[in-house]
Chains A and B, each alone.
Chain A
Amino acid sequence: MKCLVIGASAGLGRAVTEELAARGHKLSIVSSDESDLASIAKDLKLRHSTKVSYLAMDLTQINIKSFLRFVEKSLGSPDAIFCIAGYSKMDLDKGPMDHRFIDKIININLSAPIKLVYSLIPRVKKNTHFVFAGSVSAIRPRKSNIVYSSSKVALENFSQCIRHAYANKISSVCCYRIGYMQTSMLFDQKLMLPAIQPMDAARRIIENIGKKRGVVYLPRWWRIISIILNALPWFIYKRLNI
Chain B
Amino acid sequence: MKQERDYEYDAPIKPFAFRSIDLSPASQGFLCEPDRYRHLETSKFKKVIPRGSGISYVAASYGDDVVSLSMKHFKRILDFSVEKRTVTVEAGIMIGELQDFLLPHRLMLPVLPGHPQISVGGCIACNVHGKNTFKNKNFCDWVEEVTLLRPSGAMTSLKRKSQGFSLTCGGFGLTGLIISATIKLQKLPLRTMEKRIFSVESLVDTQKKMIKISKRWDYLISWNDLSTSRSSGCGYILAGRFAKKDSKVAMNSRYLALDPSRKKLRFKLIREFSIPLINKLYAFNLKLRGNQDCHFWNYVFPQARIGHYFDMYGQKGFFEHQVLIPHGAWEEYSHRFRLLQKKFSVPILIGSLKLFSGKRKFLNFSGNGVSFTMNLLNNKKTLDFLNKVDELDCKTKSIANVAKDSRLRSSIVQKQYSEYNKFKKNIRSWSTDNIYESSLSRRLAI
Partner of B36, one of A10, A91, A185: A10
B77 near A10 with CB under 8 A, answer no
Contact of A184 with B12 in the complex, beta carbons under 8 Å: yes
* List of A residues within 8 angstroms of B35 by Cβ: 9-11, 14, 183-184
Which of A32-40, A64-72, A137-145, A160-168 forms contacts with chain B? A32-40
List A contacts of B11 (CB < 8 A).
184, 187
Report B-chain residues with C-beta under 8 Å of the C-beta of A35: 37-38
The reply on A42 being an interface residue by CB < 8 A is yes
Residue of A whose beta carbon sits closest to that of B93? A43
Inside 8 A of A42's CB, which chain B residues have their CB? 76-79
Identify B14's interface contact among A11, A43, A183, A187, CB under 8 A: A187
B278 at the interface (CB under 8 A from A): no
**CB of B148 to closest CB in A, whole Å:** 16
Q: Confirm or deny: A46 has a beta carbon within 8 angstroms of a beta carbon on chain B.
A: yes
Scoring A residues 72 to 91 as 1 if CB is less than 8 Å from chain B, else 0, what string do you get? 00000000000000000101
Contact partner of A9 among B36, B90, B101, CB < 8 A?
A: B36
Contacts of B442 in A (CB 8 A): none
Q: Does A188 contact B (CB under 8 A)?
A: yes
Answer whether residue A92 sits at the interface, using C-beta atoms and an 8 A cutoff: yes
Q: Identify A46's interface contact among B7, B13, B80, CB under 8 A.
A: B80
CB distance from A6 to the nearest CB of B (A): 15
Q: Is the CB of A10 within 8 A of B73?
A: yes
Measured in the bound complex, the distance between the Cα atoms of B77 and A178 in whole Å is 29
A99 on the B face (CB < 8 A): no
User: Is B33 part of the binding interface, using a Cβ–Cβ cutoff of 8 Å?
Assistant: yes
* Residue contact A40 to B13, C-beta cutoff 8 Å: no
Give residues of chain A (9-64) contacting chain B, Cβ–Cβ below 8 Å.
Answer: 9-11, 14, 33, 35-36, 39-40, 42-43, 46-47
**Neighbouring B residues of A40 by C-beta, 8 Å:** 76
Given contacts A47-B101, A184-B12, A188-B12, contact A33 B77 (CB under 8 A): no
A184-B12, A188-B13 in contact; A39/B38 too (CB < 8 A)?
Answer: no
Chain A residues whose C-beta falls within 8 Å of the C-beta of B14 in the assembled complex: 187-188
With a 10 A CB-CB cut-off, give which of B35, B73, B77 has the most chain A CB atoms. B35
Q: In chain B, residues 1-41, which have Cβ atoms closer than 8 Å to a Cβ of chain A?
A: 7-8, 11-14, 33-38
The distance in angstroms between the C-alpha atoms of A84 and B7, with both chains bound, is 22
Query: Inter-chain contact count A-B, CB under 8 Å?
Result: 53
Measured CA separation A183–B34 after assembly (Å): 10
Which residues 48-89 in B have Cβ within 8 Å of A in the complex? 73, 76-80
Measured in the bound complex, the distance between the Cα atoms of B33 and A188 in whole Å is: 10
- Nearest residue, chain B, Cβ from A186: B12
A47: chain B residues within 8 A (beta carbon) = 77, 101
Could you tell me the distance in whole angstroms from the C-beta of A22 to the nearest C-beta in chain B?
A: 13
Counting contact residues on chain A (CB < 8 A from B), the size range is 20 to 34
- Check if B33 sits within 8 Å of A39, measured CB to CB: no
Chain B neighbourhood of A33, CB < 8 A: 36-38
Closest chain-B Cβ to A186's Cβ sits at a distance in Å of: 9
Q: Please, how many angstroms separate the alpha-carbon atoms of A14 and B38 in the complex?
A: 16
A80 to B101, CA, bound (A): 28
| Given known contacts A47-B101, A184-B11, A187-B14, A36 and B37 CB-to-CB distance under 8 angstroms | yes
A14 to B75, CA, bound (A): 12
**Cα A9 to Cα B38 with chains together (Å):** 11
Q: Which of B8, B12, B37, B38 contacts A187 (CB 8 A)?
A: B12
Residues of B within 8 A of A91 (CB): 7
Min CB–CB distance A149 → chain B (angstroms):
19
Closest A residue by C-beta to B180:
A39
Whether B7 contacts A89 by the Cβ 8 Å rule is: yes
- Report the minimum CB–CB distance from A161 to chain B (whole Å): 31
Given contacts A10-B35, A36-B36, A187-B33, contact A92 B7 (CB under 8 A): yes
Interface centre among B8, B76, B79 (most CB of A within 10 A): B76
- Bound Cα distance from A104 to B101, whole angstroms: 39
Give A101 to B6 CA distance when docked, in angstroms. Answer: 12
Q: Assuming the A-B contacts A89-B7, A92-B7, A184-B11, are A43 and B37 also in contact, with contact meaning beta carbons closer than 8 angstroms in the complex? A: no
A18 to chain B, nearest CB (A): 10
Which of B12, B36, B76 is A43 in contact with, Cβ under 8 Å?
B76
Q: Write out the residue numbers on chain A whose beta carbons fall within 8 Å of the beta carbon of B34.
A: 184
What residues of A have a CB within 8 angstroms of the CB of B78 in the complex?
A: 39, 42-43
Measured between beta carbons, the chain A residues less than 8 angstroms from B101 are 46-47
Give the complex CA separation of A104 and B36 in angstroms: 18
Q: Are B77 and A46 in contact, CB atoms less than 8 angstroms apart?
A: yes
Residue of B nearest to A91 (CB): B7
B204 to chain A, nearest CB (A): 48
Q: Which residues of B contact A9 (CB under 8 A)?
A: 35-36
Complex contacts, A10 vs chain B, CB 8 Å: 35-36, 73
Measured between alpha carbons, how far is A43 from B80 in the docked complex, in Å? 10
How far apart are A173's CB and chain B's nearest CB, in angstroms?
28
- Report the bound CA distance from A187 to B79 in whole Å: 30
Complex contacts, A92 vs chain B, CB 8 Å: 7
CA distance A46 to B75 in the complex (A): 13
Chain A: minimal CB distance from B74 (Å)? 8
The CA of A5 and the CA of B54, in the complex, are separated in Å by 32
Q: Could you tell me the distance between the alpha carbons of A43 and B12 in the complex, rounded to whole angstroms?
A: 25
Cβ distance A126 to chain B, nearest Cβ, rounded Å: 36
Q: Give the shortest distance, in Å, between A204 (CB) and chain B (any CB).
A: 21
- Indicate if the CB atoms of B73 and A39 lie closer than 8 Å: no
Q: Please list the 6 inter-chain residue pairs (A to B) with the smallest Cβ-Cβ separation, ordered nearest first.
A: A43-B76, A188-B14, A10-B35, A188-B12, A35-B37, A187-B12
Interface of A toward B, CB cutoff 8 Å: 9-11, 14, 33, 35-36, 39-40, 42-43, 46-47, 89, 91-92, 100-101, 104, 183-185, 187-188
A-B contact pairs, 16 of them (CB 8 A): A10-B73, A14-B35, A36-B37, A39-B78, A42-B77, A43-B77, A46-B79, A47-B77, A89-B7, A91-B7, A100-B8, A101-B7, A104-B8, A184-B11, A187-B33, A188-B13
Assuming A39-B90, A47-B77, A101-B7, what are 19 further A-B pairs, CB within 8 angstroms?
A: A9-B35, A33-B36, A35-B38, A39-B37, A39-B76, A39-B78, A42-B79, A46-B101, A89-B7, A92-B7, A183-B35, A184-B11, A184-B12, A184-B33, A184-B35, A185-B12, A187-B11, A187-B14, A187-B33
